[in-house]
Structure 1
Amino acid sequence: MKKITIVALLALVATLGIAPSVLATVCAQVITNAVSPSGECRSFPTPCDVPAGWTTVSDCSSSASANIDDINSRLQQMRLDLKEFKDKKSQEVADRDAALKEKITSKRKTIEARIAAAKKTKEEKRKTVLLNLVDIQIKQFTNTEERVAKMTNIRADLKTQLSTNIDIAIAELNTEKTKIQAATAPEELKNLAKEIRDLLKSRQEIVKQIVKAILASRTDTAVVKAENRLAEIKAKIAELKAAGKDVAETEGLFASAEQKVVSAKEKSGQKMAKETIDFLKSAYHDMKDIVKKVDTEKTAFFCPQEKYINCMPIVTPERQKLCSGEYYEWIKKNCLNAEFTY
């Protein structure tokens, strides 16, 4: 039996032109079952008593079954709709994640490429710096070798030894240069940098050797000059002694100076520059005392013109003419400031 709503019934009555009295008779005679929107099923005395929005059914049991089926159908549809919604959202999330992952991967690759390029550039710069450093050191070694060859205050054997050491250092630097040019890994360049630093230390040692050689040569020269000065003083003391002068104190000073020069020579042979210089300073101090002693005694020196010359404060050209030759030179050298008197 078809479901008949009150609205449909009224419309039918109006369409058919049924009188209200007839309608009242119909409503009085028809018991109507209806279902509310919430699913409640009730029986009404007449169709006119069915509330608006209720649906008429044949009986409440069939209505309840139909309502349950409808609810189940709707629930199923809701489940399907929910599943479709979830699937759609899951797909959207998956697509978004995939796009984000692809974007991140692309950025990572770009960053990695930049890092690799930066590392390569850094390695190339490091290699260039090391090569320039090696070239600078080779040039410095070469200049040092040339300077050593021109030095007049270094013995020939020391020059040869220093030149050999410099040649060895230059050869080692050229070997390092070849290694740097062939290096590809950062670790290789790092190790080569350490080796180059060690070679720089060897150059410092060579410079120290040069300085020591110069000092040794200078001390040797100073010792020779001191020995020559002692020989001159010794000869003059012998002359004074032969002339009957009292030179006992002078000879004592001379012995002290001579012993100090001998000690200085020993220290010079042991490459002890400081000790050598100290002994020479003390020896020259004694020699100065000898000269002062001679000045105090006004020791006379014989000139070819048979004039006597005493060591005095001033030397004048006129007085210089009175004496010439080795006597005048000796006086000028040993008496420092002298005046010729006659």
Structure 2
Amino acid sequence: MNSVGAPATGTRRLTTSAMIASIAEEGQRTTKAPFGHALARLADQRPDIVGLSADLAKYTDMHVFREAHPERFFQMGMAEQAMLGAAAGLAESGLTPFASTYSVFATRRAYDFLCLDIAEPGLNVNVVGALPGLTTGYGPSHQATEDLAILRAMPGLTIVDPADSVDIQQAVPALAAHPGPTYLRLLRGAVPTVLDEYDYTFRLGRAAELRGGRDVLFISTGLMTVRALSAARELERDHIDAAVLHVPTIKPFDREAVVREAAKDRLVVTLENHSVIGGLAESVASSLAFARVTAHLVPVGLPDEFLAAGALPTLHDRYGLSVAAIKDLVRREL
């Protein structure tokens, strides 16, 4: 058990679990293992789809595919570099691999294999990284807070950060149909189901306006889009009208949509489950700078530091990713 924010010596010590917890809010609709089921359905239609795991099938929802198509599943053990090298070979032979592990291992440990074996020859290998950003309390060894910054500069790599189960289910076939390499930030387990309420369709490389608003524009990606929508609904009670622009594809980045919406006269808040260095906030800021557009831009993201271990709700409050923290920031900035 890890202690987060414990009081001074002599008072009761509060402890919190560092277990991997659900990111769903209380009472929120969820869908179990949307990635695994989407991949299994796609494989029913496409015999070229294969799955690989670095000994983490259960924890990346790849076990659903393994059970449906055992003859097309490859257990590579705790050898992420070898897994990506093998995925490259499978792609060279005409297959379409989805290779799953934790984001920290796919990006920090196996970067060179992803870059030179997969991206440089432009192979259709789909790397699936679980526990992106702050989605575990196990500390810096498992918190992939800088994966977007690491990968954005890799030539030819498509990067997708889905918000919920709807995004994941629609992204899987889109990534398989895309000719080059991709990286998917995976939300696993009981994943929130939200975007079906907003007439949403995933389109690779395109941002989507989920709601309009005159006072604030949330530009969000990943699980923070769900938080942005919740914050926008709750801010209505304070007569604050907030728009939400969801950016599911980090690369290629939909600069046109971002610049168009950010150019309107309102507070612009970026929200990402990633370091404020090298992710969505800097993508938005550079897009505005190159377009010579001025905006009141405030980033919500993780600090440029190694994060604490602890329970997810505690950590999200501490680092400003909670709905309550988002609302407080908007009230201060307006």
Tell me the TM-score normalized by structure 2: 0.22
Q: Which has the higher contact order (CA 8 A, sep 6+)?
A: 2
Q: Which has the higher helix share?
A: 1
Q: Which has the higher strand share?
A: 2
Tell me the TM-score normalized by structure 1: 0.22
